[in-house]
Structure 1
């Protein structure tokens, strides 16, 4: 049974994707008058945390069943080569909403109290995707994990505080309906700050967070008595689901059941899985450790994936029942992937496919031609691409670094990017840093380890799809070309790292 949600004065708020054939012109969208705003498409943006591309069921890679996400892809466009330029929670969110890379928006790494003094948080005066949507007549809402604010700084040696209250006002960047928290990993017992709740007024919930948030989103879509949003406006709703982020074990038993009799060897079927720590980790510190202990939780990760798909399915069913499906663009992606033993590593932060590549699906049934597209889509490109496609090109903020690729959504010819940038940095760290580029054929990375030692990594992603062999030094012409691409990215983003390559 669905848990009842408090109805206390929820604040009311003051296109299209195709890989090959454009269906609706953005001029039609931009010509809407104030009275016709409701006819603009709704936008539902869903991004579970740490959901790797290989766990899209229809790709037949990981041993998961994701019928609801599969249906989105079947009826929409799957962007096969989308990446998370800095595969980490806060930096992804910073790039998504600002349209800028981490050095420009200030979110260089995950937000916590030890980094607040460096300005490692999304600034309230940054004009974001959601600010534009609100000012353009959308009812805006945010649900789930936010992780973009800087908790009060702690002194050196004190434990870092990760969660942070986001007060109403400019820190929320135009989001009016608010059912969120900064960051915590209490998946089975989450808490939220709801709309105008004060910092000491968080609401504890005894329910798996994706399930509870699906309940909230269903109420938002049904909008009984107009308590959640202004029905006379289209909505822009972002749902930041935390699972399958760690702890993987915090998932209802009903999702674990299907995997209980399977072995770890049978579910970890990628040839690059190592059950011992990556050999270069001890020397360099690159990547997340603990593979020997954490791989035992792999089945729970896949259980989380299937549970998330189940909850998304509940929401999509209500979207259809409420008559909203035909006028709602649904975007599904993730902030980064999960290594899950590949290369002998866990989690994220690295340039390998399992962490760096992300799912990206755009669906609007009846309005787009289903298919796939291999656009090298970077996170800062999302904001200008969709604002332009929604007819809001003139509202794209000045100074953004992402590119407008809305032409791909209209089926028009355009200059495709030849590469996408990989980024890793910490504001407090002088030594360890790295940059790289990915093309359709290669991954190239210049990395400095915890001892300030320089390393070069080059992978032939066509002939070595599991990135088993570093061929740096073996293809000098290829390496030189990729090096030049990286230098151009660094020049374009005014990145200090250009002096290190």
Structure 2
């Protein structure tokens, strides 16, 4: 029987918080590969989710704002996604949880390719069950409902398959409302990252230099809320893994854990996401699967790699019909050999007009709409406190410009 595939896509989770999820760490992270250099295609919820579903970078799919669903459908992008392709290969499919920002404008919508559709709509407790909208007591209730329906989906496939499912909790997105069981787990947790309210901003783009310092107490409260909500998610992931184990499916299921974007809590005097710094653009990225040797990797990964990998697992040619922007991880995951993987990676924000090139230890950011740039050596300066203003960036600028104007095979060739 062919292998199953499960994607878990969290909402606004920083890489650093993964270690606080003890059950997930023990049962998923330590049984798989954790990637220290996983990135969002664009660190903003809606455009990132469009990239995940289509393996297109934002400059390729054209959905540049967080009201992503309407232009995504208007362009017909929903007719060629990981779901439409893998379902055509005989996989049963199910979506459970947050789908894409802007779904509330068309709350009865069911995306093509999904055999089971349990999508939360907005943040007020509505959930779309196969086209029929139900209203529950709260967003938390809607999230629990989606997780429960995912477990039912998994149990139903005890002796059948293969299947592909996505679980998209709204955790740890604000507002933070952990359950009573966990609402005091991180009371008083400290928040003092090295880049918090960065003192010397003269190396930053001009628009950042006059930003006021942020309130540490407020940032600490947000951090506390995120960590406490993540304990609820830790419980849900534990229950999902338990169902897979009890039904004899865990050994033939590939599990991918990522987030749509990271989150800034006062680093460089910035709050939330959308920015090219590691706290915002970097995401947790974990893969557990049959035959995968547990470990930690420094391979450069993007959300656009999820779709080609799932299709490859299903025995499909990822580039059949349309060459994808991402590349399949399946071979390196099985062998542990990443020596032939990409050497450089694009991250961008087509709404704010910046693009970033990650290569070796370097992070070059071109604010092409403003005519400014930044360059960091992340080995010597992991917190991005001192841009190398005296560097010659012509090579970086040329490579990045070509990447952000390419797609498919041409883009992947430039990564080498």
> Smaller-chain TM-score range?
0.7 to 0.9
CA–CA distance in structure 2, aligned partners of residues 166 and 439 of structure 1:
43
Cα distance change on mapping 1:98 and 1:282 into 2, 3 Å: closer
The answer to whether structure 1 residue 194 and structure 2 residue 126 are counterparts is: no
Please say if 1:417 is aligned against 2:350.
no
1:68 shift after superposition: 1.9
User: Structure 1 residues 165 and 85, CA, compared in 2 at 3 Å: closer, same or farther?
Assistant: same
CA contact (8 A) 1:277 1:291 kept: no
1:245 positional shift: 1.0
SS of residue in 2 equivalent to 1:457: strand
Q: CA deviation at 1:294?
A: 4.0
Structure 2 partner of 1:103:
59
Aligned with 2:151 (options 182, 200, 218): 218
Structure 1 residues 71 and 276: alpha-carbon distance in aligned structure 2, compared to 1, 3 A threshold: farther
1:386-401 correspondence runs (5 A): 386-393=310-317, 396-401=320-325
Q: Choose from 34, 37, 43 the match for 1:87.
A: 43
Counterpart for residue 224 of structure 2: 299
- The residue aligned with 1:16 is none
Instruction: Name the SS for the 2:234 alignment partner.
Output: helix
Distance in 1 (CA, whole Å) between partners of 2:113 and 2:253 is 20
Is there any run of 5+ residues in structure 2 with no aligned partner, and where?
411-416
Structure 1 equivalent of residue 94 of structure 2: 141
1:184-225 deviations in Å (ceiling 9; x for gaps)? 234xxx22010131xxx32324554443333222222223xx
- Relative to total residues, which structure has the larger strand share, 1 or 2? 2
| TM score, norm. by length of structure 2 | 0.87
Q: Which residue does 2:185 correspond to in 1?
A: 258
Partner of 1:253, secondary structure, is coil
Pairs aligned (count): 405
Counterpart position of 1:270: 193
- Which residue is equivalent to 2:34? 78
- Distance, in Å, in 1 between the alignment partners of 2:328 and 2:240 is 29
Return the alpha-carbon distance in structure 1 between the equivalents of residues 238 and 305 of structure 2.
27
Hey, what's the Cα distance between the residues in 2 that align with 1:278 and 1:247?
30
> Any residues of structure 2 matched to 1:138-177 within 5 Å, and which?
138-147=91-100, 164-168=106-110, 172-177=111-116
Shift of 1:386: 2.9
Q: How does 1:361-380 map to 2 (within 5 A)?
A: 361-364=286-289, 367-380=291-304
Match of 1:475 among 391, 400, 403: 391
**How does the TM-score come out when normalised to structure 1?**
0.73
Bigger radius of gyration among the two: 1
Q: What is the aligned partner in structure 2 of residue 464 from structure 1?
A: 381
Other structure's SS at 1:111 match: coil
CA offsets 1:221-247 (integer angstroms, 9 cap, x no match): 223xxxxx6953211110111110111
Match of 1:123 in 2: 76
Say which of 9, 24, 29 aligns to 1:47: 9
Check whether the contact 1:142–1:180 (CA below 8 A) recurs between aligned residues. Answer: yes
Per-residue Cα deviation, 1:401-436 (whole angstroms, up to 9, x for no partner):
22334321232566321211121123xxxxx41112
Report the RMSD for the aligned CA atoms in angstroms.
Answer: 3.1
Per-residue displacement from partner, 1:89-148 (whole Å, max 9, x unpaired)?
1111111111111122222221269xx5x6686635641111111111111000011115
Report the Cα distance in structure 1 between the residues aligned to 2:143 and 2:344, rounded to whole angstroms.
Answer: 34
Offset at 1:276? 9.8
Aligned-residue offset at 1:278: 7.9
* 1:21 alignment partner in structure 2: none
Deviation at 1:339, TM superposition (A): 1.0
d(CA) in 2 for partners of 1:165, 1:285: 38
Residue by residue over 1:448-475, the C-alpha shift from the partner in whole angstroms, topping out at 9 and shown as x without a partner, is: 5xxx532211111000111111223x22
- Pair 1:403 & 2:327 matched: yes
Tell me the SS of whatever aligns to 1:109: coil
2:120 maps to which residue? Answer: 181
CA distance 1:204–1:254, shift in 2 (3 Å): same
| Structure 1: unaligned runs, 5 residues or longer | 1-38, 58-63, 152-161, 224-228, 427-431, 496-501
Kept in 2: contact 1:87–1:348 (CA 8 A): yes
